[in-house]
Structure 1
């Protein structure tokens, strides 16, 4: 029997819709066999609403049902701190591998059972598994500054020979990394397959003959890879039967946390698809930015597209959990003071083509200003007037934008003036006060009619 791998990744906020993650669990149970390795490539404890209130431990309901063989950590698995992740590692049934991350001179999580590489014995084959994490995690995830990283390719180069010497007939990588690093792992380290996470662009390909899969986010797809033939099969979880035990466990967590309280009603569903949130003006993006400006009284507001998470549309009766899941981060809304010249720069950086490493997407959703395409660039208008370079404007933003250079690098901590409540609390408060009736208003040029 040829060994196969079932690969899931970036489950993130699927826990907040119990049937969704339960379908993934049901599909894994249906597809696995004695020569099947079940593996996750990170961000499978969060972010999400239940992740916020349980420090990621809601994932144990899924892990106990699926009983994976091995898992690696993604950047969002560190959202609730080092001890919270160690606790999940210690209490989950699978083995964990993370080869390129250290803390205080030691490999991270070794005391909780995290291994540099794991040798998994299947019915007729031994498979070595090595997990690696994007070194840019310290720029993306607050509270991770103390982590120490080696390059993912270097970590695989160390571990692959060791695992083969230990008896591994196949070695695979769980790479929660950017696309460049994941492809380099496939091309340069001699692994038999790369199972990637982090990017939510769901796809499968081969790099120099090495199978390479990314399942995308929120448990929508499960990849199955034959390690002998390299054949790849993509399974859509929507057709799977949900695991009832997972549904019941997660529903109990939601009810116990008071997250099922209804706070608003939506007549026209608001999409949360990746293509919509990164494709131009978007009703949900307008709603979030409006909430920030209302709460703070700032001249304008901007929300980065990556800070709004994918998921089912907001439709019908909307609960506290639904709204928190839009932006489930423990980050405050911050009012910044910027010059007109800086605001013009910030608006230009909403175009992914302007920042190294970002795809060709629109990353900014705005309130209190209109953005026009003029003379090959972008011109912001505040209160109907073009901005003046030497005037100052207040701009409400998620705190994350002040601590990272990956998005909107013009904004820094030095621009902060005043901090308000957590993003998701502001969103819930705004919905309670005004309901949810977001519309497209021509705030962004060439707007996509994102319902």
Structure 2
């Protein structure tokens, strides 16, 4: 029997490029483990998504040691030269043309067999392939890549692309590779569909992504591993695996210097507020009811627009360490590091009720994702409906018109379907700038105010 192949996988690195020490330690760790028997693969959303990427994309003219936007990841890619990368939804946030530039620029083999344009496989002209093959010290390896069917719907700038069924694509690609290689590896940015991809593909190992939850398990004979965006996983085709979260390797000095200079150039460490009582940002706090952080964001939106209601869907809030002590501009932007405009809409009470309900627990999603400013709600978890909604203390009137402040993403996607572009009244600049301004005006001092009440939970 052939010796096992070792695969080091990661996905959803996203905001790590905002942390010079973390990205430098990761680079050092990966370089130390590269050998002829090891393959290094990324399962999507590993180009820079975070504060530095967003701010540099929207702040042209700043001198950086790398191109702005998602290309801030380039020094990392040049240092470690991953063998394979597939597309995550955030890799296309700035549109197909920008993603093609990343394919041409980054020294890695891009593979994605189910992402298409009207003319065929996306990025084929730039070097994207449905599969890749490699010669290693333990044999010939074939790798296929697939991405989530959600991509066009949740990535407005890539809505023109078409995603075919990743399970079918994985099955076909793996069967083709199995005829030609000793090992078949999959990289799947499909989240909840990762297990189905693994089960369908005749693969030795699948590295998953998109869903920020760690997993490891066998699916119809195929090992699926997913880091959830934290650290890396080291797995073998023999079925062994180990997750590495806390990487204590000495940082790569070149990467540390590069990403430190990026932060300095963008002035991300400028202190804008001081917080005595830490504002918690863990997933449980942000998705089980009212919290100080979601109140802060909704308040910032309403304060900047004078709207009747500020609304935040917590799916666009990022977890992380608490905001405590001296809080920098970068710390605040990291809460929601997206370059969407803040938008004011005029909607009926009926449309507002429906929009708010989307962010409340449902049979398919038990997370609480709603935050409001200028309003309060009472939600019955048993019936899955509002008992009461008040706007500025008065009951919501189905026939009245209300102004609503929300970030543009929720207007141009189907996330909250009753908030539509036709209802837009005005735009107010980049949403994260208003978060920084509100923090500087004392907004992080907010507490819990019974805006969200769930008496029967």
TM-score by length of structure 1 reads: 0.92
* Residue 411 (structure 1) aligns with: 419
Change (3 A) 1:141 1:441: same
* Residue 285 (structure 1) aligns with: 294
Change (3 A) 1:222 1:306: same
* Residue 364 (structure 1) aligns with: 370
Q: CA deviation at 1:312?
A: 3.0
- Correspondence 1:428 to 2:433: no
Q: Secondary structure at the match of 1:56?
A: helix
* Residue 294 (structure 1) aligns with: 303
Q: CA deviation at 1:313?
A: 2.6
CA contact (8 A) 1:23 1:237 kept: no
Residues of 2 paired with 1:341 and 1:233: CA distance?
51
Q: CA deviation at 1:226?
A: 1.2
TM-score by length of structure 2 reads: 0.90
1:341-363 superposed Cα distances (whole Å, 9 cap, x missing partner) = 22222222212416x5xx31011
CA contact (8 A) 2:296 2:443 kept: no
Residues of 1 paired with 2:23 and 2:454: CA distance?
35
Change (3 A) 1:352 1:6: farther
Q: Secondary structure at the match of 2:91?
A: helix
* Residue 190 (structure 2) aligns with: 177
* Residue 157 (structure 2) aligns with: 143
The answer to which of 292-301 and 80-89 deviates more is: 80-89
Counterparts in 2 of 1:110-189, with a 5 A limit? Answer: 110-165=124-179, 167-179=180-192, 181-189=193-201
* Residue 51 (structure 1) aligns with: 53
CA contact (8 A) 2:110 2:127 kept: yes
Gaps of 5+ in 1: none
Q: CA deviation at 1:24?
A: 2.4
Which of 282, 290, 303 is the aligned partner of 2:312?
303
Change (3 A) 1:274 1:30: farther
1:392-438 superposed Cα distances (whole Å, 9 cap, x missing partner) = 22111111112222x33332223322221111111122223335213
* Residue 28 (structure 1) aligns with: 30
* Residue 232 (structure 2) aligns with: 222
CA contact (8 A) 1:266 1:315 kept: yes
Residues of 2 paired with 1:70 and 1:150: CA distance?
21
Change (3 A) 1:203 1:178: closer
Q: Secondary structure at the match of 1:248?
A: helix
Residues of 2 paired with 1:29 and 1:43: CA distance?
20
* Residue 327 (structure 2) aligns with: 318
Gaps of 5+ in 2: 57-67
Residues of 1 paired with 2:346 and 2:108: CA distance?
48
CA contact (8 A) 1:270 1:315 kept: yes
Change (3 A) 1:45 1:306: same
Counterparts in 2 of 1:194-273, with a 5 A limit? Answer: 194-217=206-229, 220-228=230-238, 230-273=239-282
The answer to which of 195-204 and 310-319 deviates more is: 310-319
Residues of 1 paired with 2:389 and 2:235: CA distance?
48
Which of 317, 335, 338 is the aligned partner of 2:344?
335
CA contact (8 A) 1:369 1:443 kept: yes
- Paired residues in the alignment total 438
Residues of 2 paired with 1:270 and 1:23: CA distance?
27
Q: Secondary structure at the match of 2:319?
A: coil
Residues of 2 paired with 1:8 and 1:223: CA distance?
6
Q: Secondary structure at the match of 1:216?
A: coil
CA contact (8 A) 1:45 1:51 kept: no
CA contact (8 A) 1:211 1:232 kept: no
Q: CA deviation at 1:141?
A: 0.8
